[in-house]
Every structure is written in C-alpha cells, then in structure tokens.
Structure 1
Amino acid sequence: MRLRRTGRVPTDARVRHYDELDEDTQVAVLELAGRPRTAPETGDLDDGDVVKFTDYYEVRAR
C-alpha cells in the first residue's frame, strides 16, 4: 500500500483516525506518511480509505 496526502476527503470514503488503528498499522502509516514508499497491505485499511494523521492521507493498494 501507499499513502497519498489529499486535500479533500471523498464523501464516500471511510475515514480512520491514527489512534484507532492497530499498532502494526500505525507503524506503517508513520513510515509512509509523506514519503514515496510502499508497504505491505494491512488488514486494518482498505484501498480508498482515508487516514487522519498529521494531515489526511488516502490509502492506495499496490
């Protein structure tokens, strides 16, 4: 998966807050936020979900 900073949240997107995520997913978000990197998908996030962290990040499946 990748995270892409987004300025708008689609109305049909599931928004997840960082502190609601399990520990492994939090580590992945921390590593991916703002960096052009990929990580293995987690069971906690799906393609198109939005994570509220330091900004809003859209989850993209590889």
Structure 2
Amino acid sequence: MSLRDTGRRLRLRRTGRIPSDARVRHYDELDEEEQSVVRELAGEPWTAPEIGDLDDGDVVKFTDYYQIRSR
C-alpha cells in the first residue's frame, strides 16, 4: 500500500472497548508499511500520513487494541 494524497493524518489511540461495527485488523494482516506506522504510533501522541487500507474507526490488535483516528 502507499500513502494516500488526502492530507489526512492518522493517530492510534489505545482502546479497551471495541465498537460492534469496527473492522478489527490483526497486526500480522497488515503490509510492511502499515506495520511500520502502527509500531511507530502505538502509545505515542504522534501522527502519520494516512496510508493503505487503515480507516478512521478501524481497530488494530498489536500489543494492545488500538483504534485508528484519521483527521
């Protein structure tokens, strides 16, 4: 996958509650670029350009559950 030209930024937020309508992705299912962004952003107050197939509201199971926020 590659960077999208949307100008939107991703942030990961640790979550203990997974909305019933959320798409849950496991870290192993992500491509290398998506994995790199998840590793970089997990637990940190940083953002990265929107990439690949990660959308606002998705949840990624990494070391914990992280919800994707895209703005």
1:4 paired residue among 9, 13, 29: 13
Q: Say whether residues 1:54 and 2:63 are aligned partners.
A: yes
Q: Any idea what SS the aligned residue of 1:11 has?
A: coil
Q: Which runs of 5+ in 2 are unaligned?
A: 1-9
| Aligned-residue RMSD, C-alpha | 0.5
Percent identity, please: 77
Q: Which runs of 5+ in 1 are unaligned?
A: none
The count of corresponding residues between Structure 1 and Structure 2 is: 62
TM-score normalized by the length of structure 1: 0.97
In the TM superposition, structure 1's runs of 4+ consecutive aligned residues that sit over 4 Å from their partners are none
Give the match for residue 33 of structure 2: 24
| Per-residue deviation, 1:43 | 1.8
Larger radius of gyration: 2
TM-score normalized by the length of structure 2: 0.85
CA distance in 1, matches of 2:52, 2:32: 12
Give the match for residue 5 of structure 2: none
Q: Any idea what SS the aligned residue of 1:57 has?
A: strand
